[in-house]
Amino acid sequence: MAFHDLTTDLVPPKNLRSLLGLSLKFIPNPRHNVPWKEYQESILPRFENDIKVKMLFAVPPPTDPDDDSEPEPNSNYNPRMYLRSGWRPPESVFPTPREIPRRLDGFRCALQQLVSKQSSRSNLLRTQRRALDLLRNQDSFLVVQCDKNLGPAVIEKDRYIKFAFHDHLSDATTYQRLSKDEARVKAEHLKLWIQAWITKHKKLLRPSEKKFMEHHLDENETPFATFYITMKVHKSPLKTRPIVSCSGSLLQALGIWADDKLQIAAKAQRSYFKSSYILRQDMQALEIPPNAFLFTADAVSMYTNIPTHRALLFIGRYLRRNLFPEIPTEALMEALKLVMCNNIFTFGDTYWKQLTGTAMGTPPAPPWATLYYALNEERFLPKYNDLFFYKRFIDDVIGIWIPNDENPNAWQELNADMNSDLFGLEWEVSRLTTKVDFMDLTISIVGNSVHTTLYEKPSNLHLYIPPNSCHPPGLLPGIVHGGVHRFYTLCSDESDIRTKVQEFYTKLLRRGYQRQVLRPMIADAIAKAEAYINNPPSSSNKSNLRNQMILHLRYHPNNPKSSAIQRAWYSTIAEPSFSKPLAEIKNCKGIATGIDRMTIAYSRPNNLGNILSYRKLKPTGPPVSSYLTDMAREV
């Protein structure tokens, strides 16, 4: 039970350790469970319409009884740009089998008998509730997130705002302050430009993509992104990372489209790797020559230091080689120009425009940065025979270097090439060594092979979600299986894995989980992780969703148990005693529905991070703009 105390002048309220030590993902119990009215007005109408649509568009089963694969994907479907349709099959055109309404009515009645309005006991102690009420009602402190997922921190609000200005927004070469009216005018212009882009390139867009972007423009209520910072508590002195949340802003939809296209080129680069697990696999396949050394490199403020117009020129020139015929190059470059040159965001009551660099927070930012510097790597990587291995994850490089007496200056030349003035980025390159910490791995050269283990920063608080959080029952299995799987896929030595699992088990016990529950769960997770390592599943293995219905339900511990809802489903809809199974009922086209199971998809209530969110600063207290005036007076 801990948090990072970053206060200097004020003393944080008492009892914060007992509250924030629960982690910002902890969910307090809502006062009441889901009422029957919500089932009537939203949950069941959606479910009933979904089952009618699924029946209408049922497809024949595969001719091969052992074929469990999904049908060919719809080329018009892009999951990232999906809008849930409110279309209802008209009975006059697509009649539903007569007994389906009767089954749905039976399910509704059975479910109603299970639902009763109940108030729930709080899963917070009285001291924790007082601390939460105090934090929600005061304006002197902020509960902020720490970089690298190192837990929550408490800091004075005025110190937080001064960090944002001193560390980031005061840089006039990168950020321009706008008045509210200037920002509104620019937002209107941007909206017109995006609409013009959609009209110009509508023949290149899938219908679903065009619909998604037009819907996003029409329904947009908050045109601007939001600026906030996270605290780098692992750095001394304390530093901050700027974050821009573009969710819901004008640039989001166009940015998602640009990201989808740019990812194709970014993932094709020789230095690209997807995850720590893939990196470990690549490195362990190597036979390391003698006298080999590891090194890492980290780009200094990569996003803001990428020169925007130069990047547009270089990336455009590269994509016009037609190496990726599936990318509509001209449409993509126009979209990237709109996204990268029009990043406007708010910080409190102030408005800002990013003048140069990668548009922070926009969806295509990672592949943009990946591809931009890959064009420099394309120039220098073939030059160095001493460079035995080289990979990069956006702004983090890992490499293996073999010194060569015939060219003793090669290492210095590589450093100079990485810091080429042409690309405008500065890289901090480590010394040559046999052991490095890279991302979440500690990588060592032992003999002629590479060994890896999990790396965790000393400031990591390990705040696993406690068992009394208002999460669905699958929370603990997810934590256990995810943790054990991570140890098995990232650690080389069996003894090291056993030690990590034991430490993990101890940490979960300290978070309040019971031994008798954890032990069999960890044993099962170990068996599955070993099976995964010995026989990794094919990427083509997908769950079969053709025969599945989904009931969308907001979670509450006093809702009907999922097992009771499933029994109601089977007895009234799936396999009622009075008729044939639902899977065998044919639709108006004469095709059996095949629907034989239902999954309950729970949505969660707000967690402490949502309740105490600092992304949009409260309008109470001195406005953010007043700090600019005060700092100007100080200067």
pLDDT band at 540 (very low <50, low <70, confident <90, very high): very low
Judged by DSSP in three states, 305 sits in: helix
**Is pLDDT above 50 for 538?**
yes
User: What whole-number distance in Å separates Cα of residue 518 and Cα of residue 511?
Assistant: 12
pLDDT band at 14 (very low <50, low <70, confident <90, very high): confident
Please report the pLDDT score of residue 635 as a whole number: 45
The identity of residue 374, as a single letter, is A
**Is pLDDT above 60 for 369?**
yes
Please report the pLDDT score of residue 88 as a whole number: 87
For 18-74, how does the pLDDT look when each residue is reduced to its tens digit (9 = 90+)? 999 999 999 999 999 999 999 999 999 999 999 999 888 887 766 555 555 544 545
Torsion of CA 438, 440, 442, 443, to 10 degrees: -60
- The set of residues, in sequence order, having a beta carbon less than 8 Å from that of 327 and lying 6+ positions away, is 261, 262, 264, 265, 319
All structural domains of the chain with their residue ranges: 36-62+76-117+555-603, 475-534
**Is pLDDT above 60 for 442?**
yes
**552: nearest Cα among 43, 32, 49:** 43
Please report the pLDDT score of residue 551 as a whole number: 95
Please report the pLDDT score of residue 74 as a whole number: 54
**331: nearest Cα among 502, 206, 200:** 200
Contacts 24+ apart (CB under 8 A), 524-528: 524/481, 525/480, 525/481, 525/483, 525/484, 525/485, 526/484, 526/488, 526/501, 528/481, 528/485
SS (HEC) of 236-260: CCCEEEEEEECCCCCHHHHHHHHHH
- Cis-peptide into 237, omega within 30 deg: yes
CB atoms within 10 A of CB 585: 19
Q: Residues of the chain with pLDDT > 90: what percent?
A: 75
Tokens in use for 405?
A: 């007496």
Please report the pLDDT score of residue 483 as a whole number: 95
Please report the pLDDT score of residue 313 as a whole number: 97
For 429, how many CA atoms within 13 A lie in the half-sphere containing its CB? 19
For 466-513, how does the pLDDT look when each residue is reduced to its tens digit (9 = 90+)? 999 999 988 899 999 999 999 999 999 999 999 999 999 999 999 999
User: What whole-number distance in Å separates Cα of residue 364 and Cα of residue 252?
Assistant: 10
**Is pLDDT above 60 for 622?**
yes
pLDDT band at 541 (very low <50, low <70, confident <90, very high): very low
pLDDT band at 339 (very low <50, low <70, confident <90, very high): very high
Please report the pLDDT score of residue 384 as a whole number: 93
Q: Is the dihedral of CA 527, 532, 535, 539 positive or negative?
A: positive
Please report the pLDDT score of residue 529 as a whole number: 94
For 546-571, how does the pLDDT look when each residue is reduced to its tens digit (9 = 90+)? 789 999 999 999 999 999 999 999 99
**Is pLDDT above 80 for 199?**
yes
**Is pLDDT above 80 for 449?**
yes
The alpha-helical segments, DSSP class H, found in 240-328 are 251-266, 276-284, 302-305, 308-319
Please report the pLDDT score of residue 549 as a whole number: 93
Tell me the average pLDDT of the chain: 91
What's the chain's length in residues?
Answer: 635
> Vertex 584, ends 579 and 589: CA angle to 5°?
120
User: What whole-number distance in Å separates Cα of residue 229 and Cα of residue 131?
Assistant: 24
Tokens in use for 162?
A: 């001064």
Arithmetic mean of pLDDT, 121-137: 92
Tell me how far CA of residue 65 lies from CA of 412, 590, 595, in angstroms: 62, 20, 16
Arithmetic mean of pLDDT, 333-343: 97
pLDDT band at 634 (very low <50, low <70, confident <90, very high): low
**Is pLDDT above 60 for 539?**
no
Q: Are 134 and 13 in contact (CB under 8 A)?
A: yes
For 282-302, how does the pLDDT look when each residue is reduced to its tens digit (9 = 90+)? 999 999 998 999 999 999 999
